[in-house]
Each structure stands twice: as structure tokens, then as C-alpha cells.
Structure 1
Amino acid sequence: MTVWRMTRRCAALILGVALLCGGPAFAQRTDLAIGVRLEPPHLDPTAAAAAVIGEITYANLFEGLTRIDREGRVIPGLAESWEVSDDGKVYTFRLRQGVFFHDGSTFDARDAVFTLERAIAPDSINPQKALLEPIEAVEAVDAHTLSVRLKRPTAQLPFILGLPALVIVGHETAETNRAMPNGTGPFRFSRWHMGDRVDLVRNDRYWGEKPALSRVTFRVIGDPSAAYAALMAGNIDAYTNFPAPEHLPQFEADPRFKVVVGRTEGKTVLAQNNARKPLDDIRVRRAIAHAIDRKLLIDGALYGYGDPIGSHFAPQNAGYVDLTGRYPYDPEAARALLREAGAEGLRLKLALPPPSYARRSGEIIAERLRDVGIQVDIVPMEWAQWLTDVFRDKNYDLSIVSHVEPNDLDIYARDDYYFNYDSPEYKALYAELAAEQDEEKRLVLLKSLQQKLTDDAVNGFLFLLPKLGVWDARLQGFWENAPIPANDLTGVRWER
């Protein structure tokens, strides 16, 4: 018998034994390549509003005192438990012991104090700084006990502390997290290949249950056609926010893939600069609202996926009120309001960031606005330019963007937010909501806030961004919905 024949016979015997034993003849995979639409500006979720930072880092590299799970519930994170004083103004958090940052330093109450004091400091650039305004003082009672004293009761504090922007950072390494993130999560940062991918590896010193995945690569693939091609070719294994809904039927017909259509918290709006003439005239804003055809938008830009919204609130949440009928698509009503406002012959610029939902929706809205006499100049922007010109400098007329943070009605109560909406009545209502502990009263206030935004036609409220997930059918554990912008990979695994 030749050596070659002996080798073949041994291989066949080994394969037969494996099949008889019910196991595969190969090792189960522990690597994952996942697509994301955008490259993050950096990797510190406490220092920028870009949702893609949290999509990569939340629950993977960084963790908060609390954590938001796949159902949108608040569960323990680096705080294993907490108590609230009878007056609702003092929260005491019991912190986990035996937790280490990726650089080997120990996590304790000093890091929690540092993180929160840094977030509320006058020079803070934390995107959720406004939500922390009720905090009066933060104190390390001992190494594993944190006290947070509030100016007034704030029932949502545990939820707020579970958002991506409020993850805990080490006091020694906070300033280097943009390029070298150092968290406590189940994965460690490996390398960032600019313009291409971010690599993570399993943190074998993790305090909790170790993830099944040993290596994760986040691949930046923003072009819808390229995303489709990468999945079909096997260059990536998953795309949890797939940007090309027109291709979903092809994936659904292919047994290699699983397609899951869920919901996000992404309230997609036609943002309007309420301080810029003539958009400071409510009649003009209401005219624009009547020129929006939500059904056409959802069918044309999202291929039928997504839910219409009439205010800045997601339909799946308690307290939602359907206000989509407040401004029905009515071109004649829009023209009449423009005539009444003396705004005929209006010309506006529409700034569009890169996501396909924004670019596609922008083309449709521009056409509908032209039908009622508003000339629209479309200005495509990359994210860096959008964040500077629109979000920071408020130098725009109109824009389209999806606000993916949950329960973010607070943004309309901020003095410096890019909508430039200034309503004392709205601010008073929101202050009531923030302090209210009774759930039934909170629901009433939530409805009043939604109605106020719609009545004032602050923005054009378009649709809830769907979560279109496509991944290898052998993968299990991805979130079906997105209660926060995150790709929590702690429960993801390959099935044999």
C-alpha cells in the first residue's frame, strides 16, 4: 500500500468516526466579520455623538454602571445592584469586585466618580451631558460603593447611565481612548485599519461570562451594492443594519442566510433650522409637513420597510401617540400656507449625510417640495462635514437624519441643539417629565410632549428606521431589535 493510499484511508476512517459520533470533522468557528455603514470618527463613545462608535464599542469594549439589554430593559452592569433613597435624590451603587481594565488596572469607585465628573464638567463634550444636569455630587463611599446625589428626583437615572455615552472609562487612560480604547468589556481592542476595519480580540480576563467569539472584525462597507456583494461572497458574515433593503428578497430566498427585520429607536426626521428665516415661521414649517408623503418615502427609500411617525417618538414605546394624521399629505394645503406666510418662491438647501436612507429620502422630499413651490438644492455631505456644519455650527436650512438614541425628547429642551427650537412651554413640560416618578403621570406627559412638537411642526417627522439584519444562517445571538445603537456580541456564536 502506498503512503498516499494509506493517508486517504486513514482520513476516511477519521471522517467516518466523526460522523458516527455525531460531531463535525472540523473545529467550530470563533471568528466573526461584521459590516458597518460608517467609519467612526474615533473609538471613545463618551466624546462624540456618532452612533457608529457605540455600535462597535458598547458592551464589547466598554461597559457602564448599568446596561441596556436586547429588550430595552435596564440590567446590572459594572454596578451589581443599586438602591434609591426615599426622597428619590440619592442613588447608591454597589460595584462589582475583581473587574480589570484591558491594560490590567483595577476598576473601582474612583473610575466611576471620574467618569461622571468628567461627563458633567463645564468643558465636557459628552453627547449626553444634558441628561446628567440633575447630578449634584458624586462620591466614592468606599472602593466598591458609589453615591450619586441629585438636585431633584430623576427616575430615568439608571437608564441614562446605561447609554453608550456613559460607559466607564479609566482615569489613567481616558484621554487616549479615541485611538486606543481601554475598557472593561469582554473584548479588547486589537487594531484599527483606517478606512477599512476595526479588529477586536477576546478578553480572557473578563469578569463575566466569556464570549464564544475569539476575534471580531468590524468592516466599514457603506455602499449598498458593496455590502450586498460582501455578504454574497462571504467576505463578511453579518450585517446587522443592512443598508440595501432592495436586496432582502434575494437573501430571504437563499438558505445560507437569515434575514431579520426589526425595529430601531431611529426617529428619522427632516430637520429644520427653526431660527433661520423663513423656517422661523410656523406656517412655513407646517407647509413643509403637508408636502411630505410618508408612504412614498417608505416605499421609495426603504422598499416598504419602516413605520411612519408623526412626532419624535418610537411607536413600540409606552406613551406613544399616533400623530401621523396631524399633517396629511396635502400639496394644496402646503401651497396655501406658503402664500399666507408670503413665502412663495422659497429656495432652501437640503444637507444630506451619507446613509442611503438619507440620500434616497432626500431626493423624494426635494421633488415633493418642488411640487408645492419650494426649490431645493441638495448638498451631499460626508459625516465629518455634517457634524461640523449642521450639528455643531447649525449652518443649514434642512437636513435628514435618524436620531437613534432612545427616549431622547430632551434634545428639544436644549438651548444649543441644532434644531434651534426654543419653546418655554416645551421646556416646562420636559422638566415635569424628568422629575416625575409616577408611571401613569409620565405617560400623560410623554403624550403632551409629542403633541407639542407636532403642533409646532418643529421638524418633518418621517419614519422609524427599520433594523434590517442579514447574517450567516449558522450564527445565533444577534439582537433582532435595537433599543440602543449597539452591536452587543456577548451572546453571538456559531452553531454547528
Structure 2
Amino acid sequence: MSTNVATYNERWVSGEIVSTTGEEMLNRRQFTKSLIATGTALAAGASSLNLATAQPRRGGRLRVAGHVQSAQDTLDPAKFVQSTDYARGHMLYNALTRIDGNGQAQPELAESFEANQDVTEWVFKLRKGVTFHDGKALGANDVIYSIMRHKDPKVASASKGLVDDLVEVTADGTDGVRVKLKSPNADIPVLLGTFGFMIVKKGTTDFSTAIGTGPFRLKEFSPGVRTVVTRNDNYFKPGRPYLDEIEYFGIADPVARLNALIAGDIDMMSDLRPNAIDEAKKASSVEVFSTPCPRFVQFAMMCDREPTNNLDLRLAVKNMLDRERIVKQVLNGYGVVANDHFVMPKSPVYNSSLPQRGVDIDKAKFHLKKAGMENASIELHVTDAVQNSIEMGLVLQRQAALAGLTINLKREPSDGYWSNIWIKRPFHAVVWNPRPTESLMATLIWKSDAKWNDTQFKDPHLDQLIDAARGTVDPDKRKQTFWDIQSIIYEQGGNAIPAFVNYIDAHSSKVKGLTPVPTGNLGGFNFADSVWLES
């Protein structure tokens, strides 16, 4: 196994992480300054504002309200699809790696990892002394089982599309695992740090409870109601976690969620709406926590069913979007204008040759006429479960009327939206949380066979480009590949994407240790590992 391509090692000092790298993950800073990194530079300054200078205090009970409430809540990492699952997962489990604020893979259950020369094999050395909540020692067989179960059709893993290129995972010596791939993939350490790849005990099939290695043990789990966890005193990170207990539940109504925080009924909340920021700032006990990131809201137009299977209708809608108004008025400036694809303007692989779309009513009318849909009427499904989609839908509705298209907004309840509406109705709102690299995002959403391909846009050439991007190390070739990917989605895809949306959360001023990680709300959903309560 070569060590001159990609190595990463880590040691623990006084309960904190001190990392040393070999050659920088295939010079990742040059060729995978990922989706996440574009938002992190903006967020980096904020992290120092929330980090406490005093020694973290142990003890206390944290009450957290998420913005999603669902009877589909699960303890099975392979089924994680919602923010409630992600946050709960980080309380109870760990992955081989973790994603830091720069979108980089850092050692977690693996203390080091390295690749061969052509990045078709990766070896992860496991951290010694890690035990599951029931006392069983972590071993290679647990890791092998946890990864390979995603390939089992019976599991119906939400992450199955990410392991299609994986050939096998085997033990490597007494304390390692070897991951073999069909083709080069420089993003494997990042992929194995994402939510779905948290490690469970070998043979686990019953997920009515959770036996993980995480900072907390499960005390109570009521899907759609609440989760209660208590400190794992045998956690492998010395001195952590700081809290005694966390109660986590959903409050779907954004007004009720903020009122609960102001009243002191909760300590932290996700998804503070932009129009409520000023109100939150007026409360002396509340702090606003904003993380710029490549999260985006889109209006998905499904390409396999009427009426949105008509390319001219899709192009008409894209030319109706008043993106500037959405960023300024709907997002209150907490976002960035998008251009109907998933790459942010500050990304090193952003396709700057594509004309920035804005409101062009004449062009919209032209495409409506070609589509034979002049003076037609279509239904757009929006919901509070997709942050800001109702307000964005109203902006789109007004511009569509000027072009001669009637858009009827159908406001759907949050509960059940992802099971009843998403990837089922021709025209519906979707929010996509960031992934650490553009390759992961493209694989999850735009591969023809991706489980989460919510527009059902399928293009063999696009599939080939996405596969090629994963193993492309040369920065110039990687950039050109992503330019081609963006062009296809921009010109033909079913995604009308007006803006990238900051994560905006809020918390009590007594909550300390929260740092921005642009993979999700509240520190990338990984607040349990680091936050503490000031007395």
C-alpha cells in the first residue's frame, strides 16, 4: 500500500484532536475544494464567536427542537433521509471519518487512512479501545458489515447508489479494513464520513434500539415524537461528551419553534426563518447562528411524466425565476443566487461560461408557446418542510402570470411530505442539504439510477461524466468534467434552482461550543459531540 498518495493520521492530546497529514489527500485543496468549502470560508469567522474561552463545563440537560417531525424517524443509518435522523445518528453512532468545517475527511473511528497510487483501494486503520454501548469492542467485522449492507437490495439503503462502485470490504491485518473499488474514487474517506455510513454492530437487523459507539446512549425513542439520550461514560474521546442528557424533538411550525426558544422552553433550534431573524435578535437570551453553505431549494420538474416532461415548459419556468428578489426579500440576504445547477459560484469547478439566468418574460413566453402551454395551468406543491418554498413559490407564481402561465400553489403539510409528494408529483419543492464534494452530490441526485433522482432526468452521457469525476485527480480535467456536468443539467435538467440558502439556527446564549460545519444545521447536525451549557 503506497503512502505517497493519500495518508491521514491523528492523535489525541488532552481530549482535543491534533491532526497531521501526509501529502494532502491527493492535493485535495487543488482539485476537491468542494461544494462545502465554498461556504466555509464565509462561516469560518463565525466559529470563533461561539467557541468559549473558558473550560467546557460538564453536566446539564440540553433541549433541542428540530424543524422536521416525522413518524418515519429511524435508528437505522441505512435509512437516514431527514435532519432528525442525521442529528440523532450523531448522538448514537460514529463513522470511520468525520467531515470538518472545510469539507475534509478527518479520522474518527479510523485513526488513519491511505490509498494506493490509482485510488482504487483504501485502507483504514481502526482506532483501538473503542467499544459499543453494550461493551463489545469495535472490530473490522463491524465495519465490513456496516458498509456492505448498503449493497444488499433487501436493506433498501438510501445510500445504495454511493456504493455501486464498491467491490468488497475486507479485513486488513488485525486492526484495519481494505476497501476495493471498480474504478478510482478519491472521495471515499469523505463518503464514509457521511450520515448513512455510521457503524453498527455486525449482524444488527433490529433497529428498534441503537447500540452504537457514539457520545450518547439511547434512553427513549418515539418516532415523530422525541428522542432522549444520556451520556456514554465510555466514549473514546477523553472528556466528552460534556452534557448529561439531550432531549431532541421536532416542532414543525417555525413561529412556535422560535417562541419556545425565546420563552426558555428549549435551548437550541434549527431552521430560523429569515423573516424572523430580527425578532430573534431582539431577545437578549438568544443568539443567531448562520452558516453559509451550498444548500439549495429547487422546484423539481419530473422529466418522466406530464406536463413537466416537456423541455420547453421546464425552460420557461427557469426563465421566470426572480432569483435576485428571492435572495434579497425571501432569504433576507442570507443566501446566494444560483443558476439551475448545484455548484456555487465560488467553487473552483463552477462553470462561469453559462449565462446567469434571471427573469426573462419574453423568453419564457417563447418556450411556453413551443410547449403548447400558452395560458395553461399547472400545480406546484410547496410546504414548510422545504424551508422558504412557500415564499419562493409566491415569487414564481407572480412572474409566471406575466408570461401567461397559471401556477396554483398547493401547500402540503410537513408530516408526510417526503413520503407522499417528493418524487411523486410532477412539480414540487425540494431542499437539498450539502454534501462534502460535488461528486457525492451529483451521484446522489443526477445519476440515472440514483434512488433520490427527484426529477427522473436520465442521460447516459451525464452518468459517464459523474463516474469520471469521482476518479479524476488532475485539477484541470476535473474542472472540465464538472463544467460539462453543469451544462447538461442547466440546459436539459428538471431542476429550477433559484438560490443557495444559508443554514440559520438559533440557540440560548448559555449554549457554548457550537461551530459551523456546512453539511447541516447546528454544526453539521453533530452538536452532541461538542456543545456544553454555561452555568
TM-score when scaled to structure 1?
0.87
- C-alpha change, 1:176 and 1:225, in structure 2 (3 Å) is same
Match of 1:345 in 2: 375
TM-fit CA distance, 1:245 = 2.1
Match of 2:39 in 1: none
Residue number among 164, 174, 178 corresponding to 1:133 in the alignment: 164
Match of 2:215 in 1: 186
Stretch deviating more after TM superposition (266-275 or 84-93): 84-93
TM-fit CA distance, 1:317 = 3.8
The secondary structure found in structure 1 opposite 2:505 is strand
- C-alpha change, 1:359 and 1:143, in structure 2 (3 Å) is farther
CA–CA distance in 2 between the matches of 1:385 and 1:84? 42
1:140-179 equivalences in 2 (<5 Å): 140-172=171-203, 174-177=204-207, 179=208
TM-fit CA distance, 1:316 = 5.1
The answer as to whether partners of 2:254 and 2:271 remain within 8 angstroms in 1 is: no
1:332 aligns with 2:362: yes
Stretch deviating more after TM superposition (149-158 or 480-489): 480-489
Count residues with an aligned counterpart: 466
Structure 2 counterpart of 1:494, which letter?
Answer: L
1:1-150 equivalences in 2 (<5 Å): 30-40=60-70, 41-44=72-75, 46-150=77-181
Stretch deviating more after TM superposition (348-357 or 85-94): 348-357
CA–CA distance in 1 between the matches of 2:358 and 2:61? 49
CA–CA distance in 2 between the matches of 1:405 and 1:175? 29
Q: Which runs of 5+ in 2 are unaligned?
A: 1-53
Larger Rg: 1
Deviations, residues 167-213 of structure 1 (Å, cap 9, x unaligned): 111124x3222x31221111111113454422111110111131111
CA–CA distance in 2 between the matches of 1:440 and 1:62? 38
- C-alpha change, 1:120 and 1:194, in structure 2 (3 Å) is closer
- C-alpha change, 1:419 and 1:49, in structure 2 (3 Å) is farther
Deviations, residues 91-125 of structure 1 (Å, cap 9, x unaligned): 11111122111222221111111111101123342
CA–CA distance in 2 between the matches of 1:322 and 1:197? 45
Residue number among 462, 469, 473 corresponding to 1:433 in the alignment: 469
CA–CA distance in 2 between the matches of 1:89 and 1:117? 17
- C-alpha change, 1:87 and 1:228, in structure 2 (3 Å) is closer
- C-alpha change, 1:225 and 1:87, in structure 2 (3 Å) is closer
TM-fit CA distance, 1:332 = 2.1
Structure 1 counterpart of 2:503, which letter?
Answer: K
TM-fit CA distance, 1:455 = 1.8
Structure 1 counterpart of 2:525, which letter?
Answer: N
Deviations, residues 205-243 of structure 1 (Å, cap 9, x unaligned): 11113111111111311212101210110001112432x
TM-fit CA distance, 1:289 = 0.5
* Misfit runs of 4+, over 4 Å: 322-325
CA–CA distance in 1 between the matches of 2:351 and 2:264? 43
Residue number among 360, 372, 389 corresponding to 2:403 in the alignment: 372
Structure 1 counterpart of 2:448, which letter?
Answer: R
Match of 1:409 in 2: 442
- C-alpha change, 1:99 and 1:373, in structure 2 (3 Å) is same
TM-fit CA distance, 1:66 = 1.1
Match of 1:245 in 2: 274
The secondary structure found in structure 1 opposite 2:330 is helix
Match of 1:488 in 2: 526
Match of 2:342 in 1: 312
1:443 aligns with 2:479: yes
CA–CA distance in 2 between the matches of 1:187 and 1:414? 38
TM-fit CA distance, 1:453 = 1.1
The answer as to whether partners of 1:478 and 1:488 remain within 8 angstroms in 2 is: no
CA–CA distance in 2 between the matches of 1:336 and 1:380? 29
Match of 1:9 in 2: none
Structure 1 counterpart of 2:447, which letter?
Answer: A
Q: Identity over aligned residues, as a percent?
A: 22
1:420 aligns with 2:449: no
1:208 aligns with 2:271: no
Match of 1:267 in 2: 296
Structure 2 counterpart of 1:346, which letter?
Answer: A
Match of 2:50 in 1: none
The answer as to whether partners of 1:197 and 1:219 remain within 8 angstroms in 2 is: yes
The secondary structure found in structure 1 opposite 2:83 is helix
CA–CA distance in 2 between the matches of 1:194 and 1:120? 26
Structure 2 counterpart of 1:482, which letter?
Answer: P
TM-fit CA distance, 1:30 = 2.3
The secondary structure found in structure 2 opposite 1:162 is coil
The secondary structure found in structure 2 opposite 1:104 is coil
TM-score when scaled to structure 2?
0.81
- C-alpha change, 1:279 and 1:194, in structure 2 (3 Å) is closer
TM-fit CA distance, 1:49 = 5.0
Q: Which runs of 5+ in 1 are unaligned?
A: 1-23
TM-fit CA distance, 1:488 = 1.2
CA–CA distance in 1 between the matches of 2:258 and 2:352? 34
- C-alpha change, 1:128 and 1:405, in structure 2 (3 Å) is farther
Please give the root-mean-square deviation of Cα atoms over the aligned residues, in Å.
2.4
CA–CA distance in 1 between the matches of 2:346 and 2:159? 23
